[in-house]
Structure 1
Amino acid sequence: MLHKYKLALIIGLTSLSALALLLIALFYARRTKQENGGSNTYTDAEAGEAVVQAEGLIKFHGGENLTVQEILDAPGEVIGKSTYGTLYRANLVNSNSLALLRFLRPTCTMSTEDVMPIVEVLGSVRHPNLVPLTAFYAGPRGEKLMVHPFFGLGNLSQFIRDSNGEARKWPTICRISIGIARGIHHLQTSLNKPIVHGNLKSKNILLDSNYQPYVSDFGLHLLLNPTAGQEMVQVLSSRGYKPPELIKMKDACEESDIYSLGVIFLELLTGKEAINENADQDQDFYLPSALRSAILDDRAVQLYHPDILIGLSNDERVVTEDGILRYFQLAMACCSPSRNVRPSIKQILEKLEEIVK
């Protein structure tokens, strides 16, 4: 059942004191950036300057025409909840468009002064395979709201589980995998300081009508306080995406994102979930471990979804099976228990592009 909400019931208009705090944070963030000469800051060549509105709304590229009233009054349907916030699909009346609105609970985030420099960074990042931040609202009681574009095909987890067959096509698997890798590659290599995603999973990969992937929620953990960040790690573990070495969110790094990326690749290849909640005591709960056991037990048929090969000619089947094997090897390398032997995102992208040649 759909539940319609008015976000204005949750978030009130900001006060002058909140605005002053917001402007002070931005002033010091920009002054620090100038003093450092950009040597230890995130930058993105495609980014434009943020626009600060008198109502406490910061707008980035793509959100120039948004207003506080339009965002807070937008009829919204709850499509996701977490320990730190709620995700809405909202109808922006003035622009006659849909948007994703993420409400962050005040008790789960850092202060407005602390998050504003991070928000400026996240709002500056632009890449064809990343979900952009188009606006950010900081309310008078510490509430915070992130605005993103809406993608009609939903998330990758739903697509894998509910698809009409497109998810079992080898070209689609490769296209989605390469797109995700390119997005992560941008976060890790194209900025002066890498952005660690911190919560990479198939539910945080959005798809458009052409099955192009967009990585969402990157760097969101940077806005959370230590308690909420630790809860995010626990959820990541319970969903099967947490690497063995990740104990605290502050220790998240590029290699931990690589592990999670490998799990997503295995989901795409097998059509299975990252964790088997119905596994027997003698079965492996986590997908990478289950597939390692399948290799040892010579159960190769479990390494990929059988529908991938349906309808292929003999020649196509040989080529596809070779690609599947190399893709599987790459995914398992990403899921290595030792972070030091996982491939870099550059190596992953190069390998994927070789596979599809």
Structure 2
Amino acid sequence: MMRKGKLVEGSLVAYSYAELQHITRNFSEKLGRGGFGSVFRGSVPGSSDVAVKRLEELRQGDKQFIAEVSTLGAIQHVNLIRLCGFCSEGSKRLLVYEYMPNGSLASHLFGGNHKIIDWKTRCQIMLGIARGLYYLHEKCRECIIHCDIKPENILLDSELCPKVSDFGLAKLMGRDFSRVLTTLKGTIGYLAPEWIRGLPITTKADVYSFGMMALELISGRRNSQQFNDGNISFFPLFAATKVAEGDVLSLIDKNLEDNVETEELTRMCRLACWCIQDSETYRPSMGHIVQVLEGGLEVNIPPVPKSLLNLMEDREQYWYEESSLSSTN
């Protein structure tokens, strides 16, 4: 009979590779793949299902890996995915997380096979993500910058409560994280300008990514989409312009059937556009974002970021017309 690993600190369990092979039925049910490895569903005897992430290209030594994992395992927040265990055996590095039955936020927004998330739930999801990031930035003993906020890394539990996942990978991967992240297809749309320019990264890089993702949550559309003719539709360009004009109703997901409060929508759209400002100085902190989403603060009209204005000048390559809201899905 297989033992269920051994406790190393608090509720964190150290598994052998053979045990995780057994738990995942030899990694037979793949849940997804990211830039740093694949995730598989597993079942621990006498317990609930888990998600096992098999890391690749991780060069950390045993002691350093276990020390970092132990730190992450002690972090508990309702909007952060819970790390249950790990494996560090030879060159093998795996992380064991709680399993999220409703998958990623991306699958609900863009998958086409899920029930449409109503507006009230979207607001709660956005607030939950903000609270999770605020905890990482300001409430942990050591500030943790996620560095890869996007709908694929937001998981939903049985009640559609959001959980920020992979929040420790930036710490675990070190320089490899930056290298892989900047070459990932699709992720580039969430990277802050300072990251692309090779400047030091602060918590405001997460704020930028949060803003980009907030626009997707509001609209139900990918920030960018490339077509066969080479054109790229870039939704933030369209969104920032409409917010500046005061026309936020054109940004709402057309699939939403419930009534959306214009005042609330306006506040969220303005907030998202402040988050994607070119200079991190003008972006709000996650603590400020939480206050806005909780309804305690008003938001002024943000300027259209200069980087988006530059895209607007190159209309042949980057465009987003109002008619495309109904022509693409």
TM-score scaled by length of structure 1: 0.73
Which amino acid in the other structure matches residue 342 of structure 1? Answer: R
CA contact 1:334–1:343 (8 Å) conserved in 2? yes
State the secondary structure of the residue aligned to 2:82: coil
Residues 188 and 278 of structure 1, relative CA distance in 2, 3 Å threshold: same
Find the aligned partners of 1:226 and 1:58 in 2 and give their Cα distance: 30
**Equivalences for residues 116-265 of structure 1 within 5 A:** 116-140=66-90, 142-161=91-110, 162=112, 164-167=114-117, 169-235=118-184, 238-247=187-196, 251-265=200-214
Return the offset for 1:288: 2.0
Find the aligned partners of 2:236 and 2:205 in 1 and give their Cα distance: 15
**Equivalences for residues 40-59 of structure 1 within 5 A:** 59=8
Q: Can you give the 5+ residue segments of structure 1 that lack an aligned partner in the other structure? A: 1-52
State the secondary structure of the residue aligned to 2:294: helix
CA contact 2:13–2:86 (8 Å) conserved in 1? no
State the secondary structure of the residue aligned to 2:225: coil
CA contact 1:323–1:355 (8 Å) conserved in 2? no
1:86 counterpart = 2:38: yes
Other-structure match for 1:347: 288
Which protein has the larger Cα radius of gyration, Structure 1 or Structure 2?
1
Find the aligned partners of 1:164 and 1:68 in 2 and give their Cα distance: 34
Residues 154 and 61 of structure 1, relative CA distance in 2, 3 Å threshold: farther
Percent identical pairs in the alignment equals: 26
Find the aligned partners of 2:198 and 2:102 in 1 and give their Cα distance: 30
State the secondary structure of the residue aligned to 1:134: strand
CA contact 1:198–1:219 (8 Å) conserved in 2? no
Other-structure match for 1:101: 52
Which amino acid in the other structure matches residue 51 of structure 2? Answer: L
Pairing partner for 2:279 from 338, 347, 350: 338
Counting helix residues as a fraction of each chain, which structure ranks higher?
A: 1
Find the aligned partners of 1:99 and 1:300 in 2 and give their Cα distance: 40
Deviations 1:80-136 (A, max 9, x none): 2234322111122x225311101112x333222332322121111001111011111
CA contact 2:155–2:163 (8 Å) conserved in 1? yes
Find the aligned partners of 1:301 and 1:337 in 2 and give their Cα distance: 25
CA contact 1:79–1:88 (8 Å) conserved in 2? yes
Which amino acid in the other structure matches residue 277 of structure 1? Answer: Q
CA contact 1:60–1:133 (8 Å) conserved in 2? no
